[in-house]
Amino acid sequence: MVFTLYRGAEHPFIHALNTIDGWALCIDLPTIGADSDAAAPDWGLAPPPDHQRLVAVNATLGVAADISIADLAVGRTRTFGPAAVSRITLAKFGHQQTGPAGRRVVVASDGGTVYAAGANGIVRLSGADLSVTGWLARGTAIDALAVTPDGRTIYALTGSDGRILIIDAASGVALGDVQGSGYDRLVAIVPAS
């Protein structure tokens, strides 16, 4: 299955394409803030490690949805205090030995935590029930995220100046920046051997 995010005329949705059997269907996402042109691009999509579901989150609108792969339907949604705006990134699911990266939404390797980037920082959600467990880099527009395989460090691409912040995942404290600036992509985090 290939999953792609779209903004429809009335609401956002996920296009699910079965490339083996040759069929497709649309999974409607929550309509909260569907009329916001500024927040529409902030939807992100990520699979937890078990690949039994997908998590769709818009940190700017303050909404998260859990989608069952078996049913291809939204099972649970959560709303949380919205942050405040940025570009849709297609999620590609690989099998590399790297940390989740380069997306608006990433799920930690253990499945216990979901991180979602938005115009006002990063929201940290429980992987179990999508409840908010914290905010990181609050007040900073984040375009992409990467989490190290051990789940201890987050790398976040800022939208305004192309810096890559290094953030301690447990405390949310910014540890510094990756050397340089003007970055426009965050591709992968690979542990040093």
Task: Report the distance separating Cα 181 and Cα 168, nearest Å.
Answer: 20
Tokens linked to 89:
């990134």
Assess contact for 150 and 192: CB atoms under 8 A.
Answer: no
Evaluate whether residue 42 is within a structural domain. Answer: yes
Evaluate whether residue 18 is within a structural domain. Answer: no
Residue in the structure block whose two tokens are 């394409």: 17
114: CATH: 2.130.10.10
State how many domains the chain has.
Answer: 1
Each residue's pLDDT tens digit, 51-82? 888 899 988 888 899 999 999 999 888 888 75
Q: Residue 55's CB: how many other CB atoms inside 10 A?
A: 22
Task: Report the distance separating Cα 35 and Cα 26, nearest Å.
Answer: 19
Each residue's pLDDT tens digit, 22-47? 899 999 988 887 777 777 778 888 88
**What is the span of the domain harbouring residue 79?**
37-177
**DSSP character at residue 63:** E
Evaluate whether residue 29 is within a structural domain. Answer: no
First and final CA of the chain: distance in angstroms? 33
Tokens linked to 95:
């099998």
Evaluate whether residue 121 is within a structural domain. Answer: yes
